[in-house]
Amino acid sequence: MKKIVKVVLNFGLFTSTIFGIWHFFVPYIYHWYDYIPNAPREIIVSIDWINFFFSLFLAGSSFLLIIHQREIELKKGIFSFFIFLVFIWFSRVIITLVHPWNQPYQFIDIIQFIIFLFVFILLFIPLMYYLLNKKLKEPCQSHNSA
């Protein structure tokens, strides 16, 4: 079972990393700025910054978790970081349902929902495995006796 969880975790984190890298190019691939031709520079720059930092967070955190995956189930700090990444993907699933970016529930919205749900499930399975097999250790604490 542990090998299956490791494969699922690696695939989920790799997919999340790829999504983060891909998202750096999304504004240019999909010509975001054509939809707001007369927008002030401040709007364009704020969209760029939000997309850049979201992409950096998603790619960077996913990649760091790939590097530190052996420690996910051992250290609470890294495990908390992993929980937050799973929460991000859960939020993407919910926001896609509640507030789709296209006309409600067109083909692209359904595809987005399926993909986001797939990545969320890939990350949720290891999360549940780790929670059910709690091996998380407390950070090193001094043993001062008073």
Q: Tens place of pLDDT for every residue, the chain, 146 residues?
A: 689 999 999 999 999 999 999 999 999 998 888 888 899 999 999 999 999 999 999 999 999 999 999 888 888 889 999 999 999 999 999 998 888 877 766 888 888 899 999 999 999 999 999 999 876 555 555 555 44
Residue 32 counted as domain residue: yes
Residue 105 counted as domain residue: yes
- Which domain range does residue 111 map to? 2-132
Residue 85 counted as domain residue: yes
Q: Kindly report the pTM of this predicted structure.
A: 0.83
Residue 36 counted as domain residue: yes
Number of domains in the chain: 1
pLDDT at position 146 is 47
pLDDT at position 25 is 95
Residue 145 counted as domain residue: no
Find the distance separating the first CA and the last CA of the chain, reported in whole Å: 44
Residue 37 counted as domain residue: yes
Cβ count within 10 A of residue 118: 15
As a whole number of angstroms, the distance between CA 51 and CA 45 comes to 10
pLDDT at position 40 is 93
**Judging by beta carbons within 10 Å of its beta carbon (0-12, 13-18, 19+), is residue 34 exposed, middle or buried?**
exposed
Residue 29 counted as domain residue: yes
Average pLDDT score over the chain: 88
Residue 123 counted as domain residue: yes
Q: Which structure tokens are listed for 73?
A: 């189930």
pLDDT in tens, 15-51: 999 999 999 999 999 888 888 889 999 999 999 999 9
